[in-house]
Structure 1
Amino acid sequence: MLPTDRGSLEWDTYAFAFGHRLVTVRKARGLSQEELAERCGLHRNAVSNLERATSNSASGIADPLLSTVYRLARALEVPPTYLMPGADSRIGLRAAEQETNQALSEVEAELLAMLAADFGAHQES
């Protein structure tokens, strides 16, 4: 099995998509890696590694625990699905948003729009 292929899943594409989503939401929230790490009880290097999709494991690819995803989501004040590529559809071999730069840009724009809508709804309540 290739290091990037986890049981007929090209995990590296999902790891990179997760990292891109994480950095997009973190920056939209105006947080540094260190501030986010402090909020969720991780080391800054762990946040950096997740954003870059890297790991010290044999595969070299980040593969966060579900508890880590939830801790990050809570610290960023977003649903965990904002961070998880493919959470709203059937999972393919590769993360769809990693197929083209346009697809990646569309996901980023969608995330920013959802964050803005969340902020507006929060302001009204």
Structure 2
Amino acid sequence: MKTTFRFGLALTGALALAACGSSDNASDDAQADSVEMPAEDAMADVTETPVMDEQGTTATLAPATRNRLEEAQDKAEEAQQSAQNAGEAAAAAAADVQAAAEEAAAQAEQKTN
């Protein structure tokens, strides 16, 4: 009796959930509502892209803030250059490993022949 009741309760819940989602067209993709949908609707008719106003961003900064901003930009450029150098070094190391692996494979093949 308990098993029948549990099965009936599960079936009732499944049917209730199935009844909640209605669509006239079975080929429609299910799409959940999100906060992005109203934002996309609001921006649908915007044709211009935003541009940065250099004079409005740095001219109004206090000198100490401007100095900190310039230091941060310099550090960011240094970090980017460091990352670029590390990437180039990694690529060179990978090429060396590849060459060593190919040489070892060639030597192993010569020994077997």
TM-score range, shorter chain: under 0.3
The structure that has the greater radius of gyration is: 2
Give the TM-score, by structure 2 length.
0.23
* TM-score of the two chains, using structure 1 as the length reference: 0.21
Which structure shows the higher helix fraction? 2
Structure with bigger RCO (C-alpha 8 Å, 6+ apart): 1
